Structure 1
Amino acid sequence: MDETKYSPSFETKWYEFWEKNGYFQPANKEGKENFSIVIPPPNVTGALHIGHALNGTLQDIMVRYKRMKGYNVLWVPGTDHAGIATQNMVEKDLASKGIKKEDLGREKFVEKVWEWKEKYGNRIINQIKRLGLSCDWSRLRFTMDEQLSKAVRKVFVQLYKEGLIYKDKYIINWCPRCHTALSDLEVEHKDETGKLYYIEYPFEDGSGGVVVATTRPETMFGDTAVAVNPNDERYKDVIGKNVVLPIKDKLIPIIADEYVDMEFGTGVVKITPAHDPNDFEVGRRHNLDIVVAIDDYGKMTDEALHFKGMDRFECRSKLVAELEGKGFIKNVAEIKHAVGQCYRCHTTIEPYVSEQWFVKTKPLAEPAIEAVKNGDTRFVPKNWEKTYFEWMYNIKDWCISRQLWWGHRIPVWKCEDCGKYTVSEDEPKACEHCGSDKLVQEEDVLDTWFSSALWPMSTLGWPNQTDDLKRFYPTSLLVTGFDIIFFWVARMMMMGLHFMKDVPFRDVYIHALVRDQYGQKMSKTKGNVIDPLEVVEKYGADSMRFTLAILAAQGRDIKLSEDKIEGYKRFMNKIWNAYRFIKINTEGMELKEKPKKLSPASIWIKSRLAKTIRKVEQSLSEYKFNEAASAIYQFIWHEFCDYYIEMSKVHMDDEFSYSIKFTLLEVFEATLRLLHPFTPFITEELWQKLPNKKGDSIIIAEYPEYKESMISEDIEAAMDIVLDTIRSIRNLRSENNIQPSKKIKVYMKVEDEKTQSIIINFKNYVYALAGVDNLIMTNKPDEECIVQSTIYGDIFLPVEGNIDVKKEVERLTKLIKKQEKSLSFLNSKLNNQAFLEKAPKELIEQKKAEFEDVSRLYQKTKSRLEQLKGLVE
């Protein structure tokens, strides 16, 4: 491999090396703490997206860090069988060959799904590996593995026997496309513009009528009442009367119920218990009939008369036309309202009454609420506790049955003779009530989240009391997105506490969303999706991982762009070049013993390293990944590469020659270990090349230890003065377009004697890093200069030989005009009401930031121009 430039081509080599050598498996170190994580299982159908990349990166940082700190670390990987998604995928595949699942039958179809899973199901695992995630693949789990299925059956049976699982007729969210029930959490609500139809329902006696307002007129064939609010003075006299249901000519009563919103529409609503969850509750309270007008395929039933067999939306348009023709429609208004869609196929869901299995969640939620209140589990950031509590306090019973063939089949058998249920972990031979052998198993499977709720304990071997379960439960940390706090986190809490009598994890870190550079949500329609695999191929996994980590500020969405990733690839290149410099200058060197005397630069860099180690460890303990990454970036790029490496050149041939080379290697090796959890590949590649490494792999090397003895506040204070002087001279050079190769003379006026003494004593660093060949301390230079003030004094740059004043005045005058034009444009934009109302919030913030940046530059340019004009005059 060409060592002259950085290329991430070595990444896959090191992953294979780590895996082959078993470094991802937990050590069994006596007296050491355990640290465990279970990966949020991606769908077996899935492909890696940027959310997975962020989630996996943050987990891997903690896992690698704890492993290097000497913990016994276990990170359990796995995938979820994803009932609806996987069945859809296989059905589509079969449909392309002209086969329906019914043609195969349940058993053959499930065989086909297993075949599909074996062929394509591990694709996401290989993609996860490409990111460098150091999971213990010897413990790879799948939610339908035999052992995990055993756990599912045990939980179902125990909860049933405890009276916490029951079957009931209830209104549920139904997807006519996927042909299954959905929980409230699996319904996505999308704002749509629809129509609100005002329909008159005539009184039975023909003396007028009431007008109801509805967005779904097709459901009227299932109406069993109309309702008004008992406190609504407009309708007190009509409560108890009957009205005629239009088209159907059926009498239905007017009832009073406080559920009715007097402000909405006319204050009169049609009640359709079979097709609206609120109406269902009203129907229960008033003992109304349940009339199903739309079937489980979204088609109209016999109740819809001549509309029978029509699709519900086709029926709507034809019914509205008939109602208009007969004079029943009194008004039609446009309305914006939230329409529920299936989270998988985006079909509009249909509320549907059917028999389903439910878990009583309130008794399970109470201990889970207390556990967070008591601090047994903590949320980071803490504000997510509020979201968790709000949902848990208002929790509804959980519909756990799904009308699918792929999944954990419900372990319930109905007796054909006595009609009672036998609930068992194993297939029963006879009915436990009457002894009959005529048993038929439930057709439905369990909601995917039922098995996922057991993940922290089932993956560790429960219900068997395995060594892993004893050692690693409760797990130490869960890293996940806020969108599955209800789906998954809350349910794991309930199940863990109920069956293990302890929380499933100590800490829950909720990471933010990854958005595009303007803060917009990524979507294929917008064309702003960043594919992590494409990014890895282009820039390397290390570059992407570090970008995600340094942007992962708590409670703030990540604004990601390829430019940022490319920027951090330059950081990898900086590290690579630092190694090349060290190699050239230390090759063949024998590291006999630690140097007795260090140069000021070496004392300073070791002090800065110690403080960086402390900052990184403190930040990781609080899951402040961005602060940890920023501290490392600042140390490597600026302090080590920009300053220390440059200062080391001063000492290559003097009394500090050995100590400077020794320190270069020592600090660089420690820095690679410090950085390893964030960028595992480049750190392993370079660490392996170092003569002073200890051990076989950086992944199991000791994490750098913070030592207070390394800190030297005096040297740091002195170097602050020196570095500020260097930066100020560099700025002067840059502003006046002085070539980097040109050596310059500068004057300095420093009032404080101690500061002056420090600059003089360290002037060899100023000469080397600022391109100075003569630094003169004076109160007043004896030639024409331009001046720059610093906190320690004034720096004077001679005009002669450095600045063509006339030319520079011309350049700055043009620049000022350009900046004024930019300011005027941005100002008009930010004062344009139409722009402020229509533009995305992120774009407005971007323009404000641009305005501030240009304003700062403008003031700076103006100040320099005035100074130069003063010289001309």
Structure 2
Amino acid sequence: MSMEKSFDAKAAEARISAEWEKAGAFAAGANASRDETFTVMIPPPNVTGSLHIGHAFNNTLQDILVRWHRMRGFDTLWQPGQDHAGIATQMVVERQMMERQEPSRQEIGRDAFVEKIWTWKQESGGTIINQLRRLGASLDWSRNAFTMSGAPSAPAGEEGNFHDAVIRVFVELYNKGIIYRGKRLVNWDPRFETAISDLEVENREVPGHMWHFKYPLAGGETYEYVERDEDGNVTLRETRDYISIATTRPETMLGDGAVAVHPDDPRYAPIIGKLCEIPVGPKEHRRQIPIIADEYPDPDFGSGAVKITGAHDFNDYGVAIRNGIPLYALMDTRGAMRADGLPYEESAAIATRAAKGEDVGDVSAVNLVPEELNGKKLRGLDRKDARELVVKVITEEGLAVTDAEGAPFVENKKIMQPFGDRSGVVIEPMLTDQWFVDTKKIVQPAIDAVREGRTKILPEQHQKVYFHWLENIEPWTISRQLWWGHQIPVWYGPDGKEFCAPNADEAIRLAKAHYGNDVEIVVTDDAIEQAGARTEPFQLISTEGGGSTPERLTKLSISRDPDVLDTWFSSGLWPIGTLGWPEDTEALRKYFPTDVLVTGFDIIFFWVARMMMMQLAIVEKEPFHTVYVHGLVRDEKGAKMSKSKGNVIDPLTLIDEYGADALRMTLTSMAAMGRDPKLGPRHVEGFRNFVTKIWNATRFAEMNEVRGGGDRPDPRHTVNRWIIGETARIRMATDEALASYRFNDAANGLYSFVWGKVCDWYVEFSKPLFDGEHADETRATMGWVLDQCYLMLHPIMPFVTEELWSLTGERDDMLAHGDWPEYGAGLIDTDADREINWVISLIEEIRSARAQMGVPAGARLDLVVTEADATTRAALTANAPLIQRLARVNAPQDGVAGKGMIAVAAQGASFALPIGDVIDAAAETARLEKSLAKSGKDADGLRRRLGNPKFVQNADADVIEETRGKLATLDDDIARLRAALVQLEAMR
């Protein structure tokens, strides 16, 4: 059956994908002919996710490595799977429930809500799996993993034991003292009412205000305030009874624990150690706080004095901890001013005693939010409304710093504000009880593994990010106040005792060991329903003899912590959890440690570093030997893609229009190590033309009775010997590039070879050979060369190559299991190589000269040989018909250069082309001079830009390199134009 005129990507891709999976082409170990394994773990996309351009880029690069190794006979596993994505999934299902006007999750309860999520997951959670199939990703779908598999709530049919791995690790690290529960400042999302990671915080620049307020000194005390210039001259001297501070968050002033100044700031030296009053709150109970010295305040910023609100600011938290300043929480889990705890008067009295240095113990019940301010209710008020009220009250009392006209001094300025990336609300630093990993206890092996070279991070520049984060690591908050996730495996007893166990039965056993084997233990789940509002997580059920202080407990309950684990905790176990650990599985023994992790730079510390820490802490092995970090796909102008800019590119739209192969080849050609690809539809369209080019070359071969599937021939004709050598050369270059993760070099090298050497030169050179003594060897050579093109392109362009493989010969295997070529330099025939490459260079020089001089395309010119050595003359004679046809010249003739001729040079020979009768020399001179003037002007502009220190200092490295590349191209054009003008002048 003859080939269709064009490749129908949409129809072929779906069919070929189904054929691959039906044949089990991507199963672990498929096509293995050697003992070595090659394992790649997919960075698990969120179960709520859909394919975006970053996924397409990341998975294309992984697929290239996997297909390349599979074709080379490695026992290959590309492990697929999805992350359960706690917040994202819970949000999706809750939104769905609201749209359907169903009862809320609080109304239906935890078990019913989690069941709804599992139902959603089974119905809609596989979107990205099918989209990855459309991309051509050759994952072993039979092993698809999920980070919640094996959970007690999982429905039947949800295979896997990932939950066992997660719980086992938690228990093990808890028992080693590496996991602990404590109270620290965390990022808090008031919409979802949960702690979130730094990765889930998006810092945005927004319009803001900086208010300046006076904190009166206690007891009306005064001091001499002196400001000096750089030379030490006094610029301001006045007596003050206050210290001024500036703040963007006046509502948090109510929780201030101190005012800090730099110890070397002479302006405030007289008042360090004294007390000042917070300028808000009931006057009869106005709080006093100490003025302390700390290195944190910048004397040159604002007034140089900083209010310290340790429970609502991460920098302040550090100052408070260093100086023993109490931490007063002001807000509830919804971001409203607290309405619980002690009355304000009692709370203020405790805080005042603490400010004077008294030990007041636990201050978690202290609520420094007054019930009202100036007759308006404050407790329970949203933080934004509370801010407006606090500013109004302070201003009315005359404690706002004023400007020269006596108006309150308020700066309007841009400020960086943290937002939840999913909720869209402002994140609140919140002091809460959370579970933490004491990362300092497990970090060193992860540092050593990279520093000593057992794991390499490429490009090496990303090692700095890795080391900086690990060497300055903080405790890792791993608990989340959600219902969807791995529930913390800890139960609490009535005396606050923690029982960490893999299941409730083991928790009961531990509780009996603590309370006595004759005590009946009852397990209750989720005694604490509201995270953040931490009442005692236990319940006394009955006692013997009654009373509030029983002599002996006979029956008591232990209740499970309702929080779940951060998804980064479970995904940190991805390499071993997907392979069956903690069971000693065959897959774990065979495929772990894995080989290469392909990932983006933005999760080096959130995921890569944590996988390194956790695998080394649990199984004492590095999870992978190489981490390849790719760039961020940007739009064609180099801007970061975002929905707000409207420049997001949907890979599925590109696949629909141009085909998956064109998109994959485009992304691969741009995957230069350490660079961000700049992608636009025109780039993909260009590589669709490449798909068409190889399709048409194959059709040409078919029309000339060429078939694939044969052995490598041993041809006699120079052209055939030459193309076999060129094939060997690109095979070696491709292997070298892929082994070094230079994906762009592999793609661009294959593109140049297939389009230029095969589809253009070899196809043209072969045409006269199909009718003569070399016809059979040419058919055999072309069939073999095209087979090699399909083989080498397959990892990058799997669909069109698989289709061509099936159409062009009788094959034992699909191309996905084709044998990667192993031939090398021994196939290069140096004589044929020299001769044909000389012919190509001569044809290109003639074509270039014709185009430069404006010679009409149809004009056939004489070719005058003015000089030639013996080797060159032999090559010229042997290939004259090819040169005449492809350069559109007449048979070569010996002669001398004369008037109306231009010179053309080739190695070992000189030629002249008589063009005086076919062009208007004056018009061509004018055209070239105009082009030269424009190119010169453009080049001067680029030179000035590169000579501007500000541009070189501030522009991105890739922008600078691109500018230099444009200048180099223009300089080349200028040189060619000048040479052409010289030629035209010589013709006269």
TM-score, normalised with respect to structure 2: 0.83
Q: Which residue of 2 aligns with 1:716?
A: 833
| Secondary structure of 1:666's aligned partner | helix
* 1:629-683 residue CA offsets vs partner (Å, 9 max, x unmatched): 1111111011111111111113222221111111000111112111110100010
Q: Deviations over 1:615-641 (max 9, x none)?
A: 111111111111111111111011111
- Would you say 1:195 and 2:209 are equivalent positions? yes
Question: Which residue number in structure 2 is paired with residue 177 of structure 1?
Answer: 191
CA distance in 1, matches of 2:708, 2:727: 24
Moved more, 833-842 or 625-634: 833-842
Q: Sort the Cα spacing of 1:271 and 1:839 in 2 relative to 1 into closer, same or farther, 3 A.
A: closer
Match of 1:425 in 2: 502
Match of 1:240 in 2: 273
Give the superposition deviation at 1:300: 1.9
Q: CA deviation at 1:59?
A: 0.4
Distance 2:742 2:710 in 1: 39
Post-superposition offset of 1:742: 4.5
Q: Distance in 1 between matches of 2:110 and 2:662?
A: 47
Distance in 1 separating the partners of 2:949 and 2:170: 59
**Paired position in structure 2 for 1:8:** 9
Q: Summarize the Cα distance change of 1:21–1:798 in structure 2 as closer, same or farther, 3 Å threshold.
A: same
| CA displacement at 1:244 relative to structure 2 | 1.3
Equivalent position amino acid for 1:3 in 2 = E
Give distance in 1, aligned partners of 2:735 and 2:787: 18
Residue 141 (str. 1) matches residue 145 (str. 2): yes
Q: 1:51 to 1:596 in 2, by over 3 A?
A: closer
Aligned to 2:52: 49
Instruction: State the Cα RMSD in Å.
Output: 2.7
Residues 602 and 813 of structure 1: CA distance in aligned 2, closer, same or farther (over 3 Å): same
Q: Which shows bigger deviation, 258-267 or 354-363? A: 258-267
Contact 1:650 1:764 in 2 (8 A): no
Query: Pick from 679, 686, 691: which aligns with 2:804?
Result: 686
Q: Does the 8 Å CA contact 1:188/1:342 hold for their aligned counterparts?
A: yes
Aligned twin of 1:213: 246
Note closer, same or farther for the CA distance 1:801–1:699 as it changes in structure 2 (3 Å cut): same
**C-alpha distance 595-220 of structure 1, shift in aligned 2 (>3 A):** closer
Seq. identity, %: 41
> Do 1:598 and 1:660's aligned partners in 2 also have CA atoms closer than 8 Å?
no
**Corresponding residue number in structure 2 for 1:643:** 761
Alignment of 1:376-775 (within 5 A): 376-415=454-493, 417-428=494-505, 430=508, 431-432=511-512, 433-434=514-515, 435=519, 436-437=521-522, 438-586=557-705, 597-691=715-809, 694-750=811-867, 752-775=869-892
Q: Secondary structure at the match of 2:220?
A: coil
Q: 1:326 aligns with which of 377, 397, 410?
A: 397
Kindly state the Cα deviation for residue 128 of structure 1 after the two structures are TM-superposed: 0.6
Question: Corresponding residue for 2:330?
Answer: 293
Residues 497 and 245 of structure 1: CA distance in aligned 2, closer, same or farther (over 3 Å): same
* Counterpart Cα distance in 2 of 1:748 and 1:100: 89
> What is the aligned residue count?
868
The answer to whether the aligner puts 1:23 opposite 2:142 as a matched pair is: no
| 1:316 corresponds to which of 387, 390, 397 | 387
After superposition, give the CA deviation of every residue in 1:816-858 in whole Å (9 maximum; x if it has no partner): 6766786798899999999999999977876776566556545
Aligned 8 A contact 1:615 1:628 in 2? yes
**Structure 1 gap ranges (5+):** none
Could you tell me whether the CA contact under 8 Å between 1:647 and 1:768 is conserved in 2? Answer: no
Aligned to 1:34: 37
1:122 partner amino acid: G
Q: Does 1:88 align with 2:91?
A: yes
One-letter code aligned to 2:466: Y
After superposition, the C-alpha distances for 1:311-339 in whole angstroms (9 at most, x for unaligned) are 22232233223322222121333444432
Gaps of 5+ in 2: 151-160, 222-240, 340-367, 373-377, 402-408, 523-556
Identify if the C-alpha distance between structure 1 residues 294 and 390 changes in structure 2 by more than 3 Å, giving closer, same or farther.
same
Q: Tell me the secondary structure at the aligned position of residue 891 of structure 2.
A: strand
| Alpha-carbon separation, structure 2, partners of 1:399 and 1:543 | 43
Distance 2:692 2:982 in 1: 40
Tell me the distance in 2 between the aligned counterparts of 1:531 and 1:394: 38
| Matching residue's letter, 1:109 | F
For residues 383 and 866 of structure 2, the distance between their equivalents in structure 1, rounded to whole angstroms, comes to 85
**Cα distance, 1:368 vs. partner?**
1.0
- The amino acid across from 2:886 in the alignment is L
- Whole-Å separation in 2 of the counterparts to 1:257 and 1:782: 88
Report if the CA contact (8 A) 1:219-1:294 is conserved. Answer: no
Q: 1:118 to 1:637 in 2, by over 3 A?
A: same
| Structure 1, 17-26 or 104-113: larger mean CA deviation | 104-113
Displacement of 1:281? 3.2
Secondary structure of the 2:504 match is coil
Task: Tell me the distance in 1 between the aligned counterparts of 2:266 and 2:66.
Answer: 66
Q: Does 1:260 align with 2:338?
A: no
Preserved CA contact (<8 Å) 2:708 2:808: no
Deviations 1:546-565 (A, max 9, x none): 11111100001111111111
Which one of 157, 160, 168 corresponds to residue 182 of structure 2? 168
Query: What is aligned with 1:228?
Result: 261
1:234-283 Cα shifts (integer Å, max 9, x gaps): 22221222111112221222222333333332222111121122323333
Instruction: Summarize the Cα distance change of 1:111–1:745 in structure 2 as closer, same or farther, 3 Å threshold.
Output: same
User: Which of these residues, 396, 414, 417, is aligned with residue 339 of structure 1?
Assistant: 417
AA at the equivalent of 2:41: V
Q: Say which is worse superposed, 542-551 or 843-852, in terms of deviation.
A: 843-852
Distance in structure 1 (CA, Å) of the matches to 2:907 and 2:249: 72
Paired letter, 2:445: P
Looking at structure 1, the residues matched to 48 and 709 of structure 2 have their Cα atoms a distance apart, in angstroms, of: 53
Identify the range of structure 1 (464-473 vs 242-251) with the bigger mean alpha-carbon deviation: 242-251
Q: Which amino acid aligns with 2:915?
A: V
Maintained 8 Å contact 1:591/1:662: no
Tell me, yes or no, if the aligned pair for 2:434 and 2:478 is still in contact at 8 Å. yes
Tell me whether 724-733 or 448-457 shows the greater mean CA deviation: 724-733
Instruction: Find the aligned partners of 1:172 and 1:507 in 2 and give their Cα distance.
Output: 32
Q: 2:262–2:298: 8 Å Cα contact kept in structure 1?
A: yes
1:250 to 264, 287, 292: 287
**Mapped contact 2:715–2:721 kept (Cα < 8 A):** no
Amino acid at match of 1:538: E
SS of residue in 2 equivalent to 1:205: helix
Is 1:154 matched up with 2:158?
no
Distance 1:299 1:823, change over 3 A: same
